[in-house]
Structure 1
Amino acid sequence: MPSAATAPALKQPLAAAHHAVSVKALCAFGAKAGDLDFRFVPAPSAQEGMAGHSLVQSRRGATYEREVSLSAICAGLLVRGRADGCDIEHRRVEEIKTFRGRFDAIRENHRALHWAQAKCYGWMLCERDSLEEITVALVYLDLANGEETLLEERWPRDALRAHFEQLCVTFTAWAERQDDRHLALRQELEALSFPHATFRPGQRELAQGVYRAAAAGRCLIAQAPTGIGKTVATTWPLLRGWAAHKTHKVFFLTAKTPGRAVALEALGLAGRDSASLRVLELTAREKACEHPGKSCDGESCPLARGFYDRLPDARREAMATRELGRSQLRSIAQAHAVCPYFLAQEMARWSDVIVADYNYYFDSSAFLFALTRDEEWRVAVLVDEAHNLLERARAMYTAALAAQPFDEALRIAPAGIKPRLVAVRREWRLLQSQQASGYAALDAIPDGLLQPLQEAVSAIAEHFAVTPKDAHGPLQRFFFDMLYFLRMADAFGAHSVFEVTSTDDGGEDALTIRNLVPAPFLKPRFAASMSTVCFSGTLAPFPFYRDMLGLPDDTLELDVASPFQTHQLSVQVTPRISTRFQHRAGSLDALTDLIGSQFSRRPGNYLAFFSSFDYLEAAHTTFAQRWPGIPTWSQSRRMAEADREAFVARFQVGGQGVGFAVLGGAFGEGVDLPGDRLIGAFIASLGLPQHNAMNEVMRERMETLFSGDGYNYTYLYPGLRKVVQAAGRVIRTESDSGVVYLMDDRFDRPEVRRLLPSWWQVGRYSLAT
């Protein structure tokens, strides 16, 4: 029998609970030790785990109780959990775990954590039923063969109490320090003043809208123009209302890395009077990793070796740091020889505002969403530049199997797995043979494909479990592709389409579950938040984004008026120029002459936007021939970061020239060129997505789902968003002035004009002028 733990029993009587924590969280905080280990193990799915638990429980006797809810109070801490099973008559409690492969592959630190959880339940049962001792058992079920491996120990009541109390004392000491900080935080934020002497035009309206949405527990979709200070206007009211709204966390989510920097700067400004506010930046693993190419385990990475032994000291230092940006986390992690990425993951539990990419909350396996549900946090979510969420979410819930990765996996697959993959290839080729063209879209995924995929996944999972060293490279990558494909197949519905792509021109053959409407996947994310605010300078029409994203029916709407005046921007439509594909070659002379004429009248810096690189290159060549004296520079395909920076740097104060760029590309949004760094833009396209088989499938689906609005939802709304964003590069401050040419006759149509910003006064430009 093991010796009793050395922790002394608490002498004071158990008081009323001031904090509540789950057994799982308590043990994760105080009982984890040793290495960080994220080597791939084919873990059972949630459904397989539940089925495994039920199987073990069904094998027990009549006196066995399943899923027993237990709780205990210690040191002011209410600990709650659910034991997998117990048999009071035989004084026995069980913690059940499911696995695949070799039992000895279960890491020691994982097993130690399992023991800690089981012993907590053992103490709770001793306390509940006045038992003097109990058998604590770990039951490991191998899902491959249904065999159980049983580990059990007989523990006396006092030893279990000492173990439990030590965990509680450790956690409570930490929780009390957090209580003191949270009390100070609430007091500081209640007195928080606006960080500027006055509100900019429109800024107060947006701040009030965000505050009222949080107070009402509702979502808000807000369109607010560039230049009013949207980041401060959205973060400050949530900080100011922290206590009133009983907020636990604020998540500020961005689509791109530069957005995180802007958010951190704004939060530093908005919360500058709060010494207790802790702001955390989450960075992607590949960017935070100090040892690229090494797996996350103690055998490979020195920062994973002994990670949990050094984590408490690193965590304490991080808790003393107000802003935990990427550089600050890296510095702390280096000082304590821990992984900065996983230190950041740990600090998400103990930070107030978290700045991260969209995927941390909206992805299918989103870290922050999972924590929010597990910890039952009241969170307010800010979605910056929310027009980007639609395409990002579509990508999150799209799964593809590509031919090249499949061929690589098949080439190196062990002999026992090859037949399973060959069966997948056979069904794949059968689907291709039934295509009338290189692209086919189906409303269902053939069962003939799903069965061999499932069999291949099971075979590879069992192989990796038995031979963990093989769990890397092309076979593992394609295994993950198949897993996600099957996961999306389980959720397949009218929101997605199954596509078979077969090419003879060097392109990629693929099977794709393509998401068209992410709303069904995002709705639970909105429901889990206290309030979500989706805001952008271009987020109209609201019904389009509400439908596509799945925002609640009671979502509030706010369209903040522009602070800019009509006289600041001359907007001209060219009714005699068509940029339709069949008219492009014939209109290049007129189009480029318009650009040259405007430059001659008012020399300065201009941007000219085109719908594709082919169109851009043709226009650039024509312009250089017809207007050789005007400096130009051009966006190129697959432009490197340094080249993008050089492109923007050409727009100097007092400079002159025309930059040629692709509409919807890197220079169509997120580029700030105030004053005379940019005085005009030419937009040679409505930005409509290409008319092709894929988009026509989407249009047909949108017609069905959204009452005949298929064309607008597929083509017009997404296209004009890019146009308005590109035009928005010209006027950045209230002292700017400039011109925008909308170069296509379709801009003159009433249904298009209605979708342009209301403060624009649009005129018609005569080419004879």
Structure 2
Amino acid sequence: MPAALPDDAATPPGYTVAVRLLCDFTGRSGDLDVRFSPSPTAQDGIAGHAAVAARRPAPYQREVTLSGRWQGLAVRGRADGYDPVANRLEEIKTHRGDLARQPAHQRALHWAQAEVYGWLLCAERGLAEVELALVYYELSSGVETVLLQRRSAAELRQAFEDRCQRFLAWAEQEAAHRRARDAALARLAFPFGDFRPGQRVFAEAVFRAQRDGRRLMAQAPTGIGKTLATLFPALRACPPAVPPRPDRPGLDRVFYLTARTSGRRLALDALQQLGAGVRVLELVARDKACEYPDRACNGESCPLARGFYDRLPAARAQAAASPQALDRETLRGIALQHQVCPYYLGQEMARWCDVVVGDVNHWFDGSALLFALALEAEWRCGLLVDEAHNLIERARGMYSASLDPWLFAELRRQAPAVLKRTLDRLNRAWKALAPEGEETGARREFDTVPEAFSRALQEAVSAIGETLSEAPPGTDTALLQRFWFELLAFARRAETLAAHSLFDATRLAGRGMVQLDIRNLVPASFLAPRFALARAAVLFSATLRPEDYHRDLLGLPADTASLDVPSPYGGEQLEVRIAHHISTRWQHRESSLRALVDLLGAQFDRAPGNYLAFFSSFDYLQRALELLVELRPDIPVWAQSRGMSEAEREAYLARFAAGGRGIGFAVLGGVFGEGIDLPGDRLIGAFIATLGLPQVNAVNERLKLRLQALYGTARGYDYAYVFPGFQKVVQAAGRVIRSGSDRGTVWLMDDRFDQARYRRLLPGWWVLD
């Protein structure tokens, strides 16, 4: 019988670590190599584990919780499965493609995990030995590959203690950091003498939500300092209650999530103002962090991948000790100093930082890094979701997928001969989904994914994956890889197709071109588990009404609290006028264009200065712009264009100079409709020549019907059209008043704004004429 772990349960551990993290830290070496396949999503992993477990006979045990101690280190985790009859402990891994191409560091990590679980099992159950099994489950084919080792408890204990010893110095450092962090946060003071009007009420509600583990939707007006009013109370809620209280355990991590790059910068600046003594990381997208975008992520191709895991410890240690926030440039400097990849160093530091600032997809996407880490390490996380009104549309994109027929056609022309039969079968199954008729825009909908297409899709995923994994170094596989990622995303969405999504085929211009789409309509079922895992979540924006609309579509629990912070601004600051004589309905646009342009000119004459004019489309914008230039050449104008670069956007905003005069034309809901700050007389007014309602088309009508079925007939139209449109209107109008000293005018240029159903959606502090 093996010797049990020392009985030191009476002494609290100095640090607790998950098995996966312990092994990640101690079990990898050599090159970074991601050629094998992209990581399966959490849903893929769950489905794969369930498929393997379903094949095991009773009394097979699934997800066996195990824990142990070594000196001041506590180790815990869940082994995937244990067969007590065979005395076999299984570590199950999902994958795609040829297992022979698996990088050595990945296989070593998997064996390390199996060994740690093996020792914890032996210690708990008094076993002298155990058989360890790595079970690799290929997602496309369902084939299992099983690798076996029989190990004695003594061997496993020695390996376990070696790993713990190598990790312990880091663990002691992290425990000391956590104690110092909590002590500093308990003393954290607001960096300014007092709160702005409305800011204290907001901050207090955020603190209670984060401290008590609740969900909160907070609508707060633009300009009151929402960024600081969320981060300050969230950090104050991190230290656990003293004396300890089970209902107030504190927070391990705070994740500030936003849909805009500008929001990340504001958060980083606010954290610098707070000077909180916390480790801060900015997570950026791979394409923004990559130093060699033309090279593959492996040691044979990229010098920053070569020997990555050998150089990582020194880079990690320097990053953890950095007195500065690990924003994009700081992290890049550390990475290049140690010759490691900045993107993957950022992925590693996400494990060790107290505050992570990044895009909403890092938590809410199907393969989100932060969500996976929190699930694995059982972190108590506080979410702060900035500009949360964008989350519905962003989440729809996360859980939608398309197959591009032009890309597929190009691939078929260039693909290697080994893929010809597979791609031909996929092409036939794809063509069988085509709508009747040859007219461009014809659509065909499906309640389920046809079996023939599903088989061809899975076969193509597997065959292309194997071809990519076997490609010789230096082979140009960019096109093949791009299409493979499309196939993978589409296959994942096809597996979860249900009432929340729509599968359709649309005929495009061009001979035989049919695009396939799985469009998520209601992301609630995908987002609900994300909210459930977080200890607390605060969603905030200037436009989070009506509450039911956001709660229903985002999958928030029924007990989600809500707050509507009163505006500190008064009606005397903003003149809101309705152009009753103008209709921007499609059938009236041509006839009302002259009246619209005359109104722009009259307002400019009455109060010369800088204005923004918002339109429903680029076409409508262009027609109004051309007429204004013709009738009023004395008024300076500039216009948003499609696909503007970052430099072009900056040049557009630079035209709004203090003391300047002119009208900037923009599309409602675009990059200039929210998230820009033009205080004082840089902007004194806005014209909104649309209700912002989405276009009436087949997809939106289908969305309306689906929402009616889910939430009732009365809500279907409002959820599909009205509420999304008026969010854009209020956001655009919110560019005008940014502080207590601002003054300005907003023209709502459509007679429908005067209807009661629409007026009730406008901010209560507005005084309409």
- Equivalent positions of 1:34-73 (< 5 A) are 34-41=30-37, 45-46=44-45, 49-50=48-49, 70-73=66-69
> Contact 2:521 / 2:703 at 8 angstroms: preserved in 1?
yes
Within 1, Cα distance between the matches of 2:638 and 2:732?
17
Which of 458, 474, 479 in structure 1 is aligned with 2:479? Answer: 474
Q: Give 1:337 deviation, angstroms.
A: 1.2
> Contact 2:6 / 2:69 at 8 angstroms: preserved in 1?
no
Q: Give 1:284 deviation, angstroms.
A: 0.6
Which of 422, 425, 432 in structure 1 is aligned with 2:424? Answer: 422
Asked whether 1:440 is paired with 2:444, we answer: yes
Residue 378 (structure 2) aligns with: 376
Residue 245 (structure 2) aligns with: none
* Segment drifting more, 353-362 vs 595-604: 595-604
Which of 241, 265, 270 in structure 2 is aligned with 1:261? Answer: 265
Q: TM-score, normalised by structure 2?
A: 0.90
> Contact 2:363 / 2:530 at 8 angstroms: preserved in 1?
yes
Residue 73 (structure 2) aligns with: 77
Percent identity (aligned): 53
Residue 409 (structure 2) aligns with: 407
Asked whether 1:645 is paired with 2:645, we answer: no
Residue 347 (structure 1) aligns with: 349
Distance change (3 Å), C-alpha of 1:540 and 1:614: same
* Segment drifting more, 74-83 vs 286-295: 74-83
> Contact 2:32 / 2:305 at 8 angstroms: preserved in 1?
yes
Within 2, Cα distance between the matches of 1:42 and 1:698?
32
Residue 198 (structure 2) aligns with: 202
Cα deviation digits, residues 403-460 of structure 1 (max 9, x gap): 0122123223344433333233223323224369612334333334223222332333
> Contact 2:222 / 2:734 at 8 angstroms: preserved in 1?
yes
Q: Give 1:312 deviation, angstroms.
A: 1.2
Q: Give 1:508 deviation, angstroms.
A: 6.5
- Equivalent positions of 1:330-729 (< 5 A) are 330-434=332-436, 438-464=442-468, 472-504=477-509, 509-708=514-713, 709-729=715-735
Q: Which amino acid aligns with 2:742?
A: D
Q: Give 1:483 deviation, angstroms.
A: 2.2
Asked whether 1:755 is paired with 2:761, we answer: yes
Q: Which amino acid aligns with 2:260?
A: K
Give the 3-state SS of the residue equivalent to 2:572 in structure 1: helix
Q: Which amino acid aligns with 1:750?
A: A
Q: Give 1:542 deviation, angstroms.
A: 1.6
Q: Which amino acid aligns with 1:395?
A: G
Q: TM-score, normalised by structure 1?
A: 0.90
Q: Which amino acid aligns with 2:752?
A: R
Cα deviation digits, residues 586-619 of structure 1 (max 9, x gap): 1122111111111112211111111111111111
* Segment drifting more, 714-723 vs 136-145: 136-145
Give the 3-state SS of the residue equivalent to 1:762 in structure 2: coil
- Equivalent positions of 1:139-178 (< 5 A) are 150=147, 152=149, 157=154, 160-178=156-174
* Segment drifting more, 709-718 vs 278-287: 709-718
Q: Which amino acid aligns with 2:449?
A: I
Within 2, Cα distance between the matches of 1:362 and 1:181?
28
Residue 766 (structure 1) aligns with: none
Q: Which amino acid aligns with 2:764?
A: S
> Contact 2:385 / 2:538 at 8 angstroms: preserved in 1?
yes
Q: Which amino acid aligns with 2:366?
A: S
Q: Which amino acid aligns with 1:726?
A: A
* Segment drifting more, 125-134 vs 643-652: 125-134
Within 2, Cα distance between the matches of 1:130 and 1:638?
65
Give the 3-state SS of the residue equivalent to 2:613 in structure 1: strand
> Contact 1:399 / 1:484 at 8 angstroms: preserved in 2?
yes
Cα deviation digits, residues 120-166 of structure 1 (max 9, x gap): 35544665677777776767788979686756476682x54443222
> Contact 2:131 / 2:148 at 8 angstroms: preserved in 1?
no
**Matched residue count:** 748
Within 2, Cα distance between the matches of 1:680 and 1:399?
39
> Contact 1:57 / 1:85 at 8 angstroms: preserved in 2?
no
Q: Give 1:338 deviation, angstroms.
A: 1.1
Asked whether 1:300 is paired with 2:323, we answer: no
Distance change (3 Å), C-alpha of 1:583 and 1:366: same
* Segment drifting more, 360-369 vs 414-423: 414-423
Distance change (3 Å), C-alpha of 1:138 and 1:543: closer
Which of 172, 180, 185 in structure 1 is aligned with 2:181? Answer: 185
> Contact 2:435 / 2:442 at 8 angstroms: preserved in 1?
no
Within 2, Cα distance between the matches of 1:608 and 1:141?
56
RMSD between superposed Cα atoms in Å: 3.1
> Contact 1:633 / 1:659 at 8 angstroms: preserved in 2?
yes
Residue 216 (structure 1) aligns with: 212
Give the 3-state SS of the residue equivalent to 1:432 in structure 2: coil
Within 2, Cα distance between the matches of 1:441 and 1:92?
48
* Structure of higher CA gyration radius: 1
Give the 3-state SS of the residue equivalent to 1:235 in structure 2: helix
Distance change (3 Å), C-alpha of 1:69 and 1:185: closer
* Segment drifting more, 478-487 vs 323-332: 478-487
Distance change (3 Å), C-alpha of 1:513 and 1:600: same
Within 2, Cα distance between the matches of 1:65 and 1:561?
55
Q: Which amino acid aligns with 2:753?
A: F
Give the 3-state SS of the residue equivalent to 2:700 in structure 1: helix
Within 1, Cα distance between the matches of 2:48 and 2:184?
45
Within 1, Cα distance between the matches of 2:619 and 2:252?
50
> Contact 2:119 / 2:153 at 8 angstroms: preserved in 1?
no
> Contact 2:53 / 2:81 at 8 angstroms: preserved in 1?
no
Within 2, Cα distance between the matches of 1:636 and 1:496?
32
> Contact 2:31 / 2:307 at 8 angstroms: preserved in 1?
yes
Within 2, Cα distance between the matches of 1:35 and 1:326?
23
Asked whether 1:20 is paired with 2:16, we answer: yes
> Contact 2:5 / 2:123 at 8 angstroms: preserved in 1?
no
Distance change (3 Å), C-alpha of 1:297 and 1:196: same
- Equivalent positions of 1:249-328 (< 5 A) are 249-269=253-273, 271-272=274-275, 274-275=276-277, 277-322=278-323, 323-328=325-330
Give the 3-state SS of the residue equivalent to 1:566 in structure 2: coil
Distance change (3 Å), C-alpha of 1:561 and 1:165: same
Within 2, Cα distance between the matches of 1:278 and 1:424?
49
Residue 242 (structure 1) aligns with: 238
Q: Give 1:66 deviation, angstroms.
A: 8.2
Give the 3-state SS of the residue equivalent to 1:731 in structure 2: coil
Q: Give 1:107 deviation, angstroms.
A: 2.4
Q: Which amino acid aligns with 1:296?
A: C
Q: Which amino acid aligns with 2:707?
A: M
Q: Give 1:516 deviation, angstroms.
A: 0.9
Q: Give 1:263 deviation, angstroms.
A: 0.5
Asked whether 1:737 is paired with 2:743, we answer: yes
> Contact 1:100 / 1:465 at 8 angstroms: preserved in 2?
no
Within 1, Cα distance between the matches of 2:651 and 2:410?
38
Structure 2 unaligned blocks of 5 or more: 242-247
Within 2, Cα distance between the matches of 1:340 and 1:20?
28
Q: Give 1:234 deviation, angstroms.
A: 0.9
> Contact 1:633 / 1:660 at 8 angstroms: preserved in 2?
yes
Q: Which amino acid aligns with 1:247?
A: L
Residue 767 (structure 1) aligns with: none
Within 2, Cα distance between the matches of 1:67 and 1:241?
32
Distance change (3 Å), C-alpha of 1:748 and 1:297: same
Within 1, Cα distance between the matches of 2:301 and 2:367?
26
Cα deviation digits, residues 456-508 of structure 1 (max 9, x gap): 32333444455576793323322222222121122112111112110237996
> Contact 1:42 / 1:462 at 8 angstroms: preserved in 2?
no
Within 2, Cα distance between the matches of 1:674 and 1:301?
46
